Structure 1
């Protein structure tokens, strides 16, 4: 996945953006350990990671926003609120057809990419808010935009490792965009579907062993045992190759280390966006030594891909139920005989 991070900023006059872990959000809505929000009189208080924000009720709902991450486009598209987007960065990575159409029609502007952002264009768009991940190396740029009256909201959803908590950011976007009821209904649908699918997966008596991700150079970035990938595999009633690991981030392993753990692996998932096994071998001939490559099944994440844009990292962030359904279809095909994969694609 290509995580894109971008600049931005926060206006102190309109929004108080400060690091203050002492604020209590126990009476509000908790999305996860990273994100909570509540209402206190005429103020909506938001805590996101190390940052807190105070929004006056007169400031919300936001009418014009700039997005600097494709994943955040997934939340807004799920709400059908694309009309509030006035600018995006790196539009080539955005899958949404509605957003792409609005870009072509000039209703949404391209504000640059992770190498260089068009600060003047962002200022000219006069957005109510800009949503982005926080990158410490861009703090000077955030300050520059802050000085020009631009407010920023840092949402590091990539830190979330529980699929339903990552999907629950939908409720926050609903709150900030004045679509709270629709967001709650959408999230409830995802949650209900997800939990029903988990129960369905348990009907299978087989619990296959699963390998995930791929190598980059000489290193295999294997998802830790507490990452979202590992949680999806577990919820789909399969056994992850390093299920006892406690990391919430990728583990680095050599091919030899992965090879030593790969005996009995039946499925290999999230094997990049390759088009075929032949292409994978051309990139790394070592793959041919794995039993799962030769006699098992290998799945990439190119089921919904258009040039550089991959919907697995956009709508797939929100629709945890669809992602889980894909995994169940892969590991226990008899449980979903008529379902066709959405994000995953078997490599031949």
Structure 2
């Protein structure tokens, strides 16, 4: 009897129409991710490749069925890749529970809903009416991505550096609707007070610890968003959900859709680059000036993982960690000078090889293999803003820099990096 019942259930599952699910893993398109999707994929391999090729090997087969079986619990979690915040949406019940990067708890509640009793949690009504923030990401970047006036309406104070990167906020600043609350390291507390913030969102810097202490003394609610410290690029993109939750269910749903779109685009790039015949040795580093020490991403940093995901061989995979670290010049030069691809992140407007040598006259870059072969790339000054504002474009740049031969225009149409000629 049990076997007959099981077969009956499987038969019913097989009759579910094949439509594109809104989220990766929702193979049968029923709005949820569960064992039914595993069974459906087992029975139907003719689904679109962006839906069914979950292991990104450019085919849909039993390996994808197994992959989904092992991962469907993870796929249906509200936060999949980000490690520095927790989120538990209950929008149908009128609220969303959020824990930020410092463990601060918040219950974001619709205007007419009743807040659940969660010990130690701060209750905020959504959409939040007044938000101040010190960094571009994730609050302002999410507002720019969603491009919704109701999101911008809630942002009342930002740091001076943020204004130049958001045309809409810059316009509102000129109209007197947004205040300049200082810089990323120094806050104008009197201006913050005048904005009457419901919440001030800070980052991970040590100076922000001091800001939090002072704001707490002033009775102002603080949240900490370590959006730049995640181990994966998709995790960084996922911070849009955290920001959007402050604006309620509609904004949250839009942010989640954007995240899913970004995830699918990343998987498409993985499928393209898996056809590479070789794994080029790749160096990625930051160098402020000619005399400054190079900083390189550690092996579990999101830059390093992007390179490895796109069939590159990151030159410092032996240095564990998710952050960046200074590296002695001798070790750096030994690996970087012979690398196939070199990606320099910097803050000046460098467009040519001569510009590079003018900026770093004693670097020895002209002797690098990548410099000679035309595989030396330099970031545009505001690349880090576009990582948050257009993460899909940034991922495309990385795939093209690592394997230009796999794209129709090669590496000649990069958005946020420059191929030095």
Give the alignment's TM-score, normalised by structure 2.
Answer: 0.68
State how far apart, in whole Å, the 1-side matches of 2:311 and 2:376 are.
18
Q: Which has the higher strand share?
A: 1
For 1:56 and 1:340, how far apart are their aligned partners in 2? 42
- Rounded to whole Å, the distance in 2 between the matches of 1:228 and 1:201 is 17
Corresponding position of 2:259 = 187
Residues 1:48 and 2:120 aligned together: no
Number of the residue aligned with 2:371: 293
Describe the shift of the 1:70–1:293 C-alpha distance in structure 2 as closer, same or farther (beyond 3 A): same
Deviation at 1:122, TM superposition (A): 0.8
Partner Cα separation in structure 2 for residue 318 and residue 70 of structure 1: 9
Deviation at 1:133, TM superposition (A): 0.8
> C-alpha distance in 1, partners of 2:95/2:171?
36
Measured after TM superposition, the shift of residue 273 of structure 1 is 3.8
1:83 to 142, 150, 153: 153
Give 1:268 shift. Answer: 0.9
Q: 1:284 to 1:252 in 2, by over 3 A?
A: farther
Q: Deviations over 1:38-77 (max 9, x none)?
A: 2587764322233221325252221221120022221221
Q: State the shift of 1:138 in Å.
A: 4.7
C-alpha displacement at 1:78, in angstroms? Answer: 0.7
Change (3 A) 1:138 1:343: closer
Per-residue deviation at 1:79? Answer: 1.6
1:38 partnered with 2:110: no
Kept in 1, the 8 Å contact 2:341–2:375? The answer is yes
Going from structure 1 to structure 2, the CA distance change for 1:56 and 1:191 (only over 3 Å counts) comes to closer
Residue in structure 2 matched with residue 64 of structure 1 by the alignment: 130
Paired position in structure 1 for 2:239: 169
Secondary structure of 2:169's match?
A: helix
**What is the aligned residue count?**
315
In structure 1, the residue corresponding to 2:228 is in which secondary structure? Answer: helix
Partner of 2:419: 346
Q: Deviations over 1:100-148 (max 9, x none)?
A: 2222222221111145322111111112221111444554543332343
Structure number with greater CO (CA < 8 Å, separation at least 6) is 1
The aligned counterpart of 2:215 is: 145
Alpha-carbon distance between aligned partners in 1 of 2:94 and 2:175, rounded to the nearest angstrom? 38
Give CA deviations for 1:168-189 in whole Å, capped at 9, x if unaligned. Answer: 1111222221111111111111
Residues 111 and 121 of structure 1 are in contact (CA less than 8 Å); yes or no, is this contact kept in structure 2?
Answer: yes
Aligned to 2:78: 29
2:202 corresponds to:
132
Match for 1:279 among 351, 355, 378?
355
Residues 129 and 203 (structure 1), Cα distance of their counterparts in 2 relative to 1, 3 Å cut: same
- Distance, in Å, in 1 between the alignment partners of 2:184 and 2:216 is 19
Instruction: Identify if the C-alpha distance between structure 1 residues 115 and 56 changes in structure 2 by more than 3 Å, giving closer, same or farther.
Output: closer
| Aligned counterparts of 1:150 and 1:323: Cα–Cα separation in 2 | 36
The whole-number CA distance in structure 2 between the counterparts of 1:281 and 1:263 is 15
SS in 2 for 1:213: strand
Query: Where do 5+ consecutive residues of structure 2 fail to align?
Result: 1-75, 112-124
Structure 1, unpaired ranges of 5+: 1-26
Let me know the Cα RMSD of the aligned residues. Answer: 2.5
Q: Give SS of 1:38's match.
A: strand
The 1-side partners of 2:164 and 2:235 are apart by 22
Contact 2:135–2:162, Cα closer than 8 Å, also in 1: no
- Whether the aligned pair in 1 keeps the contact of 2:202 and 2:208 (CA below 8 Å) is no
Shift of 1:149: 3.4
Over 3 Å counting, the alpha-carbon distance change for 1:47 and 1:317 in structure 2 is same
* Secondary structure at 2:326 match in 1: strand
1:201 CA displacement: 1.1
User: How much does 1:30 deviate?
Assistant: 2.7
Deviation at 1:167, TM superposition (A): 0.4
Partners of 2:242 and 2:162 lie apart in 1 by 26
Task: Select the structure of larger CA radius of gyration.
Answer: 2
Q: Which moved more, 1:312-321 or 1:172-181?
A: 312-321
Partner secondary structure for residue 180 of structure 1: helix
Match of 2:402 among 318, 327, 331: 331
**Normalised by the size of structure 1, how large is the TM-score?**
0.81
